Amino acid sequence: MLCDICGKKEAKIYYTEIINGKKKEQHLCSDCASKNSSFLNFPQGDGNDLSLGGMLFGLLDSIGKQQNEEEIPITKCKSCGLSYEEFLKLGKFGCEDCYSSFGKVLNKNFRSIHGADTHTGKKPKGYESEMNRIVNELSEEDKLTIQLQQAIEQEEYEEAARIRDRIRELKKV
Amino acid sequence: MKKWYEEQSVDNDIVISSRIRLARNIKGFYFQERMNRESAIQLVNKVTGLTKDLELKENQKFYECSVNKLRDIDKASMVEYHIISPLLAEKEVETGLIVSQDESISVMVNEEDHLRIQAVASGMNMEKAFLDADRIDDFFSEKLGYVFNERYGYLTSCPTNVGTGLRASYMVFLPALNISGKIDKLAEEIGRYGAQIRGIYGEGTKGLGHIFQISNKTTLGRSEKEIIDNLEKIVDQAVLQERKRREFLLNMNGDEIEDKVYRSYGVLKYAKSINTIDALMMLSQLKLGMDEDLIKLKEPINIHKLMMEITPANLQKSLGKSIGRGERDRYRAEYINKKLPQL
């Protein structure tokens, strides 16, 4: 099949666009696809270089661009020095800190790849969440105060009274 | 000791194997893209240094090696047996491997991620593969400390693996669906449920040997159990469709299929020279015939194992030397002639 735009080269990309409920289907060659405004971020070339890295580049870069209007992402990872452009080109991170360095733009990227942006699976054994770590570092009295607050919020007044008495005892000591 | 692919199991006429792969990275090292040679060597030593401890914990023998130091033919053979990935075989930096004696568990070091833990079970048995991989995962997690983030889970080099880092894949034999040109339709259907299907011999081979791999597409947002349960349902459907299609084809063209099966047996048993592609194609036809009781051999034979044995590198390894294509095709024919039982 020939390209719908130039009518000369073989169409290698089948493209469906749905805007405001209107569906538009096109068969395009890779040159026209990259020239066409809807494909600003499609990698140029003869189509043989459509590796996952290349696809990812187009996908992530377009999201990055949409976001750029609102916020400018950090351009380099503070630990390994990988730039955001390099990440887009390789489709790979340089170190664990890249995840926090490029954090702001990643959530949308992850949603487009995985349909989700939060892990719900396995955690390493003995892994302590940030929240637990903070709670564990609190003094006994502070911990009880938080528990007291929770008990009151849940209207468990007997439990609240018990906690209150323990706080009083601690204060005496 | 039997290798995993020599074990018999349920549904293994269609589902050949169930495989789990976990991608993990270790604290204190840059990911592959930023890792220097010294760190790569250090990491391989650190991981392979744990082999003895792993043996004690698992109560079975494990072997370790530096993959980059192996001969090309040994690497190619391991790729053909699915012990290592093509990427690991190609890498020039220090790469390591720990593999169990029955080859069902393997740990690749310095592939795309620091660790790639793989476990495989014969037939439809993802539960066993997952339990094995999960246990090995806990061992290395405790000994080495993984890079883990509350929000994104296990951090990986490529964002497509982040979260669980889990890829579950079933190797399936779908001759009837493939012959009827139904694989693209199946791919479209299972794509809607977050899975993908592809031929095992790579792009452009059009499902050579009718063997495909069905695996989950995404790794973030669902638990390991949800991913595996979902994939199992999809594979159950694929198996059902394949069985229905076989029944249909046998009713419509039973004689023609039977003829093809016997022709394949004849060529495989008596040919003097055969290339890999023809051999794989005919072996898959013979397997279909055996699975559907169209042909009876005097002794049982594991066709899938034979399919792995006759690929170029494995064939040359069993011969003990490198040989040219012409000689290889003759040796392949001789090898299959001998292995195939009489009618």
Distance of CA B268 to CAs B16, B258, B339, Å? Answer: 22, 15, 10
E strand spans, chain B: 15-24, 62-66, 96-100, 105-109, 115-122, 148-149, 153-154, 166-173, 195-199, 211-216
pLDDT at B99 over 50: yes
Q: Answer whether A128 touches B (CB < 8 Å).
A: no
A119 vs B220: CB contact, 8 Å cut-off?
A: yes
pLDDT at A50 over 70: no
Complex confidence, ipTM = 0.86
Predicted pLDDT of residue B212? 95
Choice between A10 and B296, residue whose per-residue pLDDT is larger: B296
B231's tokens: 């994939």
B155 vs A99: CB contact, 8 Å cut-off?
A: yes
Choice between A14 and A116, residue whose per-residue pLDDT is larger: A116
pLDDT at A47 over 50: no
Q: Looking at the complex, report in whole angstroms how far the Cα of residue A79 sits from the nearest Cα belonging to chain B.
A: 9
pTM of this prediction? Answer: 0.80
Residue of chain A with shortest Cα separation from B228: A121
- Distance between CA atoms of B227 and B215, rounded to whole angstroms? 10
Per DSSP, helices labelled H in B59-181 are 72-80, 86-90, 126-144, 175-179
Phi, psi torsion values for B339, nearest 5 degrees? -70, -35
- Distance between CA atoms of B60 and B269, rounded to whole angstroms? 38
Phi, psi torsion values for A44, nearest 5 degrees? -80, 165
Predicted pLDDT of residue B204? 61
pLDDT tens, residue by residue, B313-331: 999 988 888 889 999 999 9
The minimal CB distance from B221 to the residues A60, A82, A118 is found for A118
Environment class of A76 (CB within 10 Å of its CB; exposed 0-12, middle 13-18, buried 19+): middle
Predicted pLDDT of residue A103? 77
Collapsing DSSP states into helix, strand and coil, what is residue B43? helix
- Work out the pLDDT band at B270, boundaries 50, 70, 90: very high
Predicted pLDDT of residue B37? 95
Q: Which domains does chain B have, with CATH numbers?
A: 4-241 (3.30.590.10), 254-339 (no CATH)
- Distance between CA atoms of B62 and B49, rounded to whole angstroms? 12
pLDDT tens, residue by residue, B232-267: 999 999 999 999 999 999 999 999 999 999 999 999
Predicted pLDDT of residue B63? 96
Predicted pLDDT of residue B240? 94
A94 vs B138: CB contact, 8 Å cut-off?
A: no
Rg (CA), chain A: 27
Predicted pLDDT of residue B284? 95
**What pairs with residue B64 in β-bridges?**
B98
> Long-range contacts for B181-189 (Cβ within 8 Å, ≥24 apart)?
B182/B241, B182/B245, B183/B207, B183/B212, B186/B238, B186/B241
Q: Answer whether B141 touches A (CB < 8 Å).
A: yes
pLDDT tens, residue by residue, B151-181: 999 999 999 999 999 999 999 999 999 999 9
Instruction: State the CB neighbour count (10 A cutoff) for residue A83.
Output: 14
Q: Which residues of A touch B112 (CB under 8 A)?
A: 92
* pLDDT, mean over chain A: 75
B30 vs A95: CB contact, 8 Å cut-off?
A: yes
Choice between A165 and A106, residue whose per-residue pLDDT is larger: A165
B218 vs A125: CB contact, 8 Å cut-off?
A: no
Q: Answer whether B222 touches A (CB < 8 Å).
A: yes
- Work out the pLDDT band at A36, boundaries 50, 70, 90: low
